[in-house]
Structure 1
Amino acid sequence: MGTLHFDSSDIGVTEDFLSRHYARMRIGNGTPESSRAQIRREVMPGVSVDELDLDFDMRYSVTPLQKICLCLVHDGTIQDHAFGDVEDAFGPGDVVSFAPPELPYEGRICGARYNITMLDPGLLNQVATSAPGAAPGPVRLTGHRPVSDAAARHLKRTIVHVRDHVLADPAVASEQLVTSTAAQHLAASVLAAFPNTALIRPTGTDRHDAHSATLRRAVAHIEAHAQEPLTVAEIAAASHVTVRALQYAFRRHLDTTPLAYLRRVRLAHAHDALRDSDPADATVTAIAARWGFHHTGRFAALYREAYGRTPFQTLTGT
């Protein structure tokens, strides 16, 4: 976790910074009269979220990042972007995947202000598994444009949420349960946004495995490890089934999802902590974050729905 700031008008210094914090690259200035680059980076395990502001036209040629690199354009344009046999251009409001992790790419950023969110490809396997017959290895994106406007909007909201409500507060971002949940939510949003090799619908084998014994194993694992940064993939492995079978078991028997059930268990632990804590030594925000709830308004709404009172009333005994 941490924050990184960069501000320079020296193109050589900017190239060195980008090479050290993204991947080895060459850049050039198409508007020599200006050359200022401002970058702010926030980091949590497996994910970095950067805001970049360039007041010049920058040519770039980047070696493979080995990460999923999402770009959300706020202002300006990105022209002549190319990787493999793909060529494209992006403008304000566009959210795209720059290139597969193993491919180099190049293009021009034209006086743009934009967001770069990078995540480890393995995060996709925490929330999904590859379709039978797909190439072995991690779940992969197979396209760089979102499948729909609605999917793009959801992904943009998720990126902004991670930036503004998780990483913006160091106390919240330091909580492992918060960052683990946020990373999984981002990975799921990426899979919902882009075409990929994951299989969402359960197979016949998955349906067979989604029986009550699977659910019991999953529930027992969740309740025993709710204080840890669990992933859907870890719960599925502990239940000896695929992620799809696990998700189907929860939907079939409890009409919920594994992560929603995990949230319910953590909410109960937060309730116990609020009830048993001294209000002189504890706060609702700190207890909520300790159990993975980083948005206090959302936490309060969930808590009131479950317990019929506010978290503060429970903490203070009022």
Structure 2
Amino acid sequence: MDSLVFESDDLGVTEEFLCHAYARMRIGSTTPTARTARVRRDSTTSISVDELDLNFEMSYSVTPLGRICLCVMHEGSVQDHVFHRVRDSFGPGDTVLFAPPDLPYSGRICNARYNITMLDPALLDQVAAASGGRRLERVRLTGHRPRSQAAGDRLKATIFYLRDHVLADPDTAAQPLIVSASSQLLAASVLAAFPNTAQTDPTGQDRKDAHPTTLRRAIAYIEDHADRPITVADIAAAVHVTIRTLQYAFRRHLDTTPMAYLRRVRLAHAHRDLLAADPHSGATVGDVAARWGFAHPGRFAALYRTMYGSSPAETLRD
């Protein structure tokens, strides 16, 4: 995990930093004094979560980012934000997509404190099927506003969870399974929040291919690779079916999802590790949970108790 902190009241220095951190851009300001920009970034290879505080009015004109860029407004506003045929303004509580990865955008930030979260567009392909089925079409977001306020709030909660419980702890963020699971969680939350080109309903071919043999092969792959940062796309590719076919097979035969099944397998591995661990050697529940991709100790404990009828701490102690 990488972290950086930036602070400057020099507009030229701020522009240079923003160009390096985001994309080539031009900024300007009519605020005569006290133009302080503060930025904190925590990031992994595929996602970054930034908190920005600008106590002045700043205009911006930005070249395409090449990444999905989400904005959550805390205070202040963004005015006259423009890309392609869209013109909009955002205020406190709004969660928006700044622009598609391949389009430039411009606007004005007015004395704002806000969050910028960016992710690799390929993450969307790892958790969803494109409308082209077996064709190699990328999943695209088709709107910059969430489907509803509730959808935006759920995405915002996911971003804050990643910021506060994953990226805030270097030891947690260094675990490969946690990084993989967190990236997929964010991508799935983005698809749930914004209109997009992903096709979720199985086709006739998907239904035909979702037979028990497909399921058995997928389960075998999951159990053999549970200790690796695999995605639903990896599982589908391993058994030579579409993501929709894979999802339909698990729903049809097990009434679950591939990733929920993977989580259950990893929980079983954590259970075995806790049984085998010596509590006097310094082993902790948190270490075991993180090793198997569970970043939030409370959620891990709840899942564990539901599955095994006791807390993970009791298993380790006994």
TM-score relative to the length of structure 1: 0.98
State whether structure 2 residue 313 is matched by structure 1 residue 312: yes
Q: Which residue of 1 aligns with 2:189?
A: 189
The amino acid across from 2:301 in the alignment is A
Q: Residue 33 of structure 2 aligns to a residue in which SS?
A: coil
Amino acid in the other structure paired with 2:292: W
In the alignment, is the contact (CA less than 8 A) between 1:201 and 1:244 conserved in 2? yes
Aligned to 2:74: 74
Q: Secondary structure at the match of 1:154?
A: helix
AA of the residue aligned to 1:291:
W
Aligned counterpart, 1:127: 127
Tell me the alpha carbon deviations over residues 153-211 of structure 1, each in whole angstroms, 9 at most, x when there is no partner: 11111111111111011110000100100110110111111111110111111111111
Note the alpha carbon deviations across 1:34-73, whole angstroms, 9 max, x for none: 2101100000121000000000001000011000000000
Contact in 1 for aligned 2:59/2:108 (Cα 8 Å): yes
Distance in 1 separating the partners of 2:181 and 2:257: 14
Compute the displacement of 1:219 (Å).
0.3
* SS of equivalent residue, structure 2 residue 147: coil
CA distance in 2, matches of 1:17, 1:114: 17
Residues 116-150 of structure 1: per-residue CA shift (max 9 Å, x gap): 00000000000012113899531111111111112
Partner of 1:117: 117
Q: Is contact 1:134-1:197 (8 Å) kept?
A: no
Correspondence for 1:284 = 285
Q: Partner residue of 1:58?
A: 58
Letter in 2 for 1:220: A
Cα contact 1:123–1:183 (8 A) shared by 2: yes
Gaps of 5+ in 2: none
- For residue 167 of structure 1, what is the aligned residue in structure 2? 167
Long gaps (5+) in structure 1: none
> Which stretch shifts more, 134-143 or 160-169?
134-143
SS of 2:282 mapped into structure 1:
coil
The farther-off stretch of 135-144 and 215-224 is 135-144
The percent of aligned pairs where both chains have the same amino acid is 64
Counterparts of residues 1-318 of structure 1 (less than 5 Å): 1-132=1-132, 137-279=137-279, 280-317=281-318
Q: Read off the aligned partner of 2:144 and give its amino acid letter.
A: H
**Distance in 1 of aligned mates of 2:54 and 2:246:** 45
TM-score, normalised by the number of residues in structure 2: 0.98
2: CA distance, partners of 1:241 / 1:136: 13
The answer to whether the 8 Å contact 2:134/2:242 transfers is no
1:72-123 CA distance string (max 9 Å, x none): 0010000010011111100011111111111110000000000000000000
